Amino acid sequence: MTVSQQQWREIEKLQGNELKSRVFSVLQEAARDIQILDVDDPGVLDVVPRLANLLEARPELESYREAFSSLARAVGLWNYIDKETADYRDSMVADAVTANELDGITFHREQVAALNTLLSGKNLVLSAPTSFGKSLLIDALLSTNRYKRVAIVLPTIALLDEFRRRIERRFGDRFALVMYHSQEAPSHDPVIFLGTQERLINRKDLGRLDLAVVDEFYKLDPSRQDDRSSTLNAAVYQLLRRSNQFFFLGPNIETVRYSAENRWKFEFLHTRFATVAVDTFDLTRIENKEDRLVAELKDSKNWPALVFISSPDRANRLAATLTAETAFSKVANMSEWIDENFGDGWELSDAVASGVAVHHGRIPRSLASQFVRMFNNGSLPILICTSTLIEGVNTAAKSVLIYDKQIARKNYDFFTFSNIRGRAGRLGQHHVGSVYLFHAPPDEQIVEVEPPLFGDLDDAPDELVVHISDEDSSPKISDRVAELARAMELSPDELRLASSVGLEDALALKQLTQIASRQDSVIHWGGSPSYNEILAVCAVICKVRNASEFGVRSPAQLAFYLSNLRSNNSLREFFRWHSGSYRGQAHQQDNVFRFLRACEYGLPQLFSVVELFAKRIQPTTNYSLFIAEMPRWFRAEVLKNLDEQGVPVQISERFLAHNDTIESLRQRLVRQARDPGSKLTEFEREWILEALTG
């Protein structure tokens, strides 16, 4: 399209006949460009959301609505067709691709193309921009009733919860939803297995699947440097060998590399088809970037605003700096709740009180999901985030301010930059988003993904090879597995457990466990361990993994935190103990949440591998009770499960009854939230209802 970003801004200032004349010219130019440019060319698509923005704001353009709908039909953005004012032919197209069973959603052309491929029974790998609406395709497939047993792999718990809400609302009466190990899948009724790779890899009740879905599939490529890549490949391998069909989704991938002998054939659809437009503002030459950031954030036309920052520490410091003298909004109820339930002294509490929240891997999931809800409904205008928010969680951000250019002290690449930028704008809310660049973007590059499970399995990493079934094995693979089993003195099942921490680290743990045993360390224990027994295992683990990975400074502190987490009667008491005894830097106080994340996954696997080798020396060694309780923070499993669904343990533990199931506790909480006379505050009642019924 020949209309530049600057020209659009000039058009927005016009009025009356001058505006109508210019918009008429834009429609003419768009009709011409449709004939000569690619169907997914951003310049062609860009004009539709920008005109939609103008039509909503300017009554003098009412007479152009029919022509606008014709343009939307021509470019394939059928979801922009205004059925009330459109020509009957345009309206018929929109009606034909509207799914009433999915809240009346109208699909666009590329969504329909992808659906046609899937409904023909083919496997599909789809690469499309963030605003494409990829997850809606999963709902469309579920609504057909063609798929009875479905497994969906998602990269984060936050995304699991987002999917859970949508699936329960739309398909709660059609499918049993299985998310936790304690849940048993029905043998014959329709079921959806929803989980991260770590949760799905060990399920024994998957049976034969009709469909396997993998979101953010680019994480299969080890070159993306995701330390969970091996587990993801192994989990997806187990799903694909059980499934009749698969659907992979992800953004901004141009090529998927695979071996000619690859067992799984698929169609690859790469499209640039975006449903919103984006204005980009270059602030790279601004000298005082912090002052300019504050100025842009103070301007409410940029709200809701996402600020991308490189690390949790920097996010926390920036939130404190922004709110030291400025209040962007008043959110006293959330701030008071944090003080009451986490203890005093949190910088986060003061920042939230002024309308600024943070979202990163050290924030409790229930708190992070509440921040996102409040951001989306407008009560929290600013959310400072790290890369945790670019992996699929939907936000209603109008603006994205890319303040840093690094992740984990390395400059992010063009792929990651594109994903961050893609968070600006949202279909139906902000047709035109804004991106503010405080640093020069990385050079544009072709992004390829090469999943090991699509390659020659003979050359696959050891962590994947130990999961290969007999049907896909080869003499080379059999020899490799046999050699690994011999070197580590493990059975095939034990090798798979060891692979969860990396076979190289597992071998190191074996050697260190043997040394600790020879030195009479109290590493051989069972049942409920003492502090010294916990410390003995932590000392072994922290020689292979840095203690900072677990949010602590030393093996002794790790053991101390584990002991206190277990001994405190409530999670609220544990947090208040931590806040009262914390003497570190204020912006690192939330490392306690990193510790809790490690308890969920990471530490239990490491304890299991140490136990594996300790048992070789003394068979009575048994960490099973401690390992089973650690992922649920030594509390009833239903509390932990509800925390993942957005209700903090500090709330739900007050209402826990003996033998509660997740459903019985959910129902009790909802009843309490609907009762004005309950012991819940008004803020907590709203929180529960939004999390469990919203």
Structure confidence by residue, pLDDT tens digits, 314-336: 999 999 999 998 999 999 999 99
pLDDT at 686: 96
Q: What is the pTM of this model?
A: 0.94
Query: Coil, strand or helix: which one is 122?
Result: coil
- Counts of helices then strands in the chain (DSSP H, E): 30, 19
pLDDT at 394: 83
pLDDT at 582: 93
DSSP per-residue letters across 142-186: HHTT--SEEEEE-S-HHHHHHHHHHHHHHHTTT-EEE-STTSPPP
Point out the residues of the chain with pLDDT beneath 50: none
pLDDT at 694: 75
Query: Coil, strand or helix: which one is 254?
Result: coil
pLDDT at 325: 87
Count the Cβ atoms, other than its own, within 10 Å of residue 521.
Answer: 19
Query: Is the bond into 304 cis (omega within 30 degrees of 0)?
Result: yes
DSSP assignment letter at 436: E
- Strand partners of residue 70: none
Nearest to 302 by CA among 294, 313, 310: 294
Q: Which residues contact 373 (CB under 8 A, 6 or more apart)?
A: 646, 690, 691, 694
pLDDT at 1: 53
